[in-house]
Amino acid sequence: MLRVGLILGATALAGALAAPAPMTDQATSFQGTFAGPITYTACTTDPGNHLASGTWRVHIQQKKANARFLIEVDGVPHVAFTAQMVVEQAADGGFVVSTDTLAGRLTVILKGRDFAYAISPYAYAGLDCASVVYPGSLTS
């Protein structure tokens, strides 16, 4: 599973993807689930231990992506939103897309079947962290 204290090195992870495929008009869609412990890095207060669950979908066409995220934390609805994202890198079987959120810069990474939804730096609702990462995986 991708652990993204590496998100501090999201560009390094992005560089680890295969060389970007040429962008064409052909669209590609990916979808999967969130599952596992949320990783909090360098927080000003102890956020405790929490588990993520939910679903995600990313539809890429050229240099734009439409993404949908439904995330639960410890079985309680946390966020549900759709976002227009910028494709930073796309290659066979993987991508790096990003956008700004109220909590910080969101970078979403798919490498192989491993998926990470990372906000870095994170500052929301009194919690300040270098990064917060929700793990997941590709289902189709």
Domains in the chain and their CATH numbers? 4-15+31-138 (2.40.128)
Both structure tokens of 110: 């798919």
Backbone dihedral region for residue 63 (phi beyond 0: left; psi -120 to 50: alpha; all else: beta): alpha
Q: What is the pLDDT of residues 86-134, one digit of tens each?
A: 999 887 678 999 999 999 999 999 998 999 999 999 999 999 999 999 9
Q: Is the pTM of this model over 0.85?
A: no
Q: What is the pLDDT of residues 20-68, one digit of tens each?
A: 444 445 789 999 999 999 999 999 999 999 999 999 999 999 889 999 9
Give yes or no for a cis peptide into 121 (omega within 30° of 0). Answer: yes
Q: What is the mean pLDDT of residues 4-28?
A: 46
The DSSP annotation for 48-83 comes to: ---EEEEEEEEEEETTEEEEEEEEEETTEEEEEEEE
